[in-house]
Amino acid sequence: MSLDAIRIRVLTLLAAASLTTLAVAFPSMAAERTHPANPHTDGPTAVARARVAADVLMNSYDPNKAWFPSSWWNSAVALQTIGDYMQRTGDRRYLGQLDNTFEKDQGVFPAGVLSGDPLLGNFTSRAIDDSEWWALTWVEAYDLTGNPKYLNMAVTIANYVYGYWDTSTCGGGVWWNAERTYKNAVTNGLWIRLTAELHNRIPGDTQWLARSSTAWAWFQNSGMINANGLVNDGLTNACTNNGQTVWTYNQGMAMGAGLELWRATRDPKILASVQQLADAAIGPNGLVTNGILTESCDATDQTCDDNGKQFKGIFMRYWTDLVDTTHDPRYTAFLQQQAESIWNDDRDAAGRLGTRWSGATDNDHPNVFDWRTQASALSALIGNVPSVTPWESLAATMSPAQPVVMPPASGSASITLDLGVSATGFFPLQARASINTPAGWTATPSTTMVHLQPHGNADPVSATTPLTITVPSTAADGHQIVTANVAAAGMNFTTQADVLIAHTIDFDTGTVEETPWLFDPDGSQSNGVQNRFADGTAHFTYRFPFPADSTSAQVTLTIDNEFLVQVSVDNQNWTTVLQETQPITDGSNKAARTIDLTPYLGAASNGAKPVYVKVSDAFPNDGWGGRVYHVTANIVQ
């Protein structure tokens, strides 16, 4: 019998034994937490896709501030999503980051450090819904680790939130903010879910269950659920439905609230209400366009703000709960459709996932890719993983995923791509990688074997193989794809590098055209087209691989605010070439400034003379660092 046959036989027996144990020890959990195998994506591939996407998300985690840059509540949701990923796949590599955030960020912070609001300690602030997001994150951490400190923090936050439950206005409900100006859907959906989660984890509890049940009854009768079964944003001062936007996260949060309360009570009326909300969401007047979950701001003539970028992922977190609970094939099929569309239509070569899950884009309102959109789309990929985690998985990536080649007039240029292969399981794997390049290009090696010795799911093992890609001078301008197909033990995974062939440099920042040139975004931010900035200690670095036969080069940056621009030939030793000497914060110094890079054109290596240009903050204490709008270059060969 072959090793693969033995592997399959042993894993089948182990899985059967594991399921039998679960069914005996936890019969209700076994019934609720398993959904049918995905007919579109096999389980190992679904795990691998989620792992690649989760790793991309965690590349944006700031270990010093212990959050994701410049967004407090979004950071809570992103960390909870990583918790979802670890629960679903068995991967435990990011428990340390969860604890890092818990330990570093539970204190008191003034406004502007981690949030626009002052943080009052224990992850609370005047924003009541922000506080609740953090409470749910710590319940997730408790579920993953069993450490009571996380559950205790969630209780502390819940006690704080309960101070804003008020029956004197609209008969009940939690206020959205400490000023008590608004009662809305998300704050109360969060409250119901949180209190039910606490009840379901605290033996002998009656208090949190009573609060959850009371809040659910109030929410159902509040008027926020409209005639179409969709949840509007909140209530007017007269306690009527305000008719504001039906955001996906309000709909999803209402479903999630009911599902957790149903687990506490087994009241069939609650589950029926949840299913009515779900059916409305995917119905004719719902939240779906051509089968894909769509936020109103996903329209190609609009751009979602940093909050809206993350709404759909919250919906999918609780839709996954719905699938696991009901096993309804309609709900399963919808979940699968979202995951497939994201992976096939809304993903770039670097594994980044965009805000529009259909992949739609527009020159003026492009599809946006950042850590918020990554966390959101990751939720659908997590849900697509079978809840009984496959024992084995195989994934691959190539780095850099979006390199630039500027060919010389004759001869060739070359780049090195690192093929990374990762796996989980319990048996040695010999993975065969086949590299495919455009016509006239060569890959060395064109095939390679990668040996992996996985040791379970908790810590996927990985190995890296360098690939040399030789590009002829005749390569056509534009994006060219290098593909690696990796196979082992009946598993397959395909990864790509999107190589940009360019003879000119001319791009707006904040667009997909900028991405290949952006060597190191560090903690910089982009709030739309023609906008990339680096405040405080953040920076961003462009790499310009000028052709080997270049004799001179100048780059022009349209830039303003408190910029510091430095140049390097090795990304290590820097020379300052531009610096704003005045504390300008209003963009009044915006201008196109040209830098002569000719002195930095050194000896050619691999057919290129690379130069690095870094933009940072000349006055890092006031938060108005260099902002770049447009980049062009003039090259003489």
Is 10 a residue whose pLDDT tops 80? no
Mean pLDDT across the stretch 462-473?
Answer: 97
Which phi and psi angles does 370 have, rounded to 5°? -155, -175
Residue 22: predicted pLDDT: 31
The better pLDDT of the pair 17, 229 is held by 229
Average pLDDT for residues 494-515, to the nearest whole number? Answer: 95
**β-sheet bridge partners, residue 491:** 488
What pLDDT is recorded for position 24? 28
Residue 592: strand, helix, or coil: strand
- Average pLDDT in the 71-93 region? 97
Assign 512 a pLDDT band (cuts: 50, 70, 90).
confident
CATH number, domain 393-501, options 3.40.50.720, 1.10.10.10, 2.60.40.2310, 3.30.390.30: 2.60.40.2310
Mean pLDDT throughout 456-469? 97
Structure tokens at 136: 């749910």
CA-to-CA distance for 402 and 415, rounded, in angstroms? 11
**Local structure of residue 384 (DSSP, 8 states):** T
Sheet containing 393-399, strands listed edge to edge, beginning at the edge strand earlier in sequence = 393-399, 412-425, 456-472, 442-444
Q: Which residue has the tokens 């240009």?
A: 613
pLDDT at 16 over 90: no
pLDDT for 12 beyond 50: no
Q: Which residues contact 381 (CB under 8 A, 6 or more apart)?
A: 46, 49, 50, 53, 339, 342, 343
Is the separation of the CB atoms in 533 and 627 below 8 Å?
yes
**Helix axis angle, 128-145 relative to 95-105, nearest 10°?**
140
Check pLDDT > 80 for residue 91. Answer: yes
Q: What is the pLDDT of residue 606?
A: 87
The pLDDT, as a whole number, for residue 36 is 38
> Which stretches does DSSP call E strand in 63-133?
108-109, 119-121, 124-125
Mean confidence (pLDDT) of the chain: 93
State what percent of residues in the chain have pLDDT above 70.
94
Which CATH superfamily groups domain 506-636? Galactose-binding domain-like (2.60.120.260)
| pLDDT tens sequence across 311-325 | 999 999 999 999 999
pLDDT above 60: residue 247:
yes
Residue 200 φ/ψ, nearest 5 degrees: -70, -5
Helix axes 43-58, 72-89, angle to 10 degrees: 150
Kindly state the tokens that stand for 555.
Answer: 């780059």
pLDDT at 119: 98
Contact 546, 608 (CB under 8 A): yes
Determine the pLDDT at residue 491.
97
CB-CB contact of 251 with 258 (8 Å): no
Mean pLDDT check: name the lowest of 21-25, 241-245, 258-262, 518-522. 21-25
Task: Give 69's pLDDT tier (boundaries 50, 70, 90).
Answer: confident
Domain ranges of the chain: 1-32, 393-501, 506-636
pLDDT tens, residue by residue, 259-310: 999 999 999 999 999 999 999 999 999 999 999 999 999 999 999 999 999 9
How would you write 169-230 as a 3-class SS string? Answer: CCCCCEECECCCCCEEHHHHHHHHHHHHHHHCCCCCCCHHHHHHHHHHHHHHCCCCECCCCC
Task: Name the pTM for this structure.
Answer: 0.90
At residue 525, the pLDDT reads: 86
Between CA 224 and CA 280 the distance in angstroms is: 14
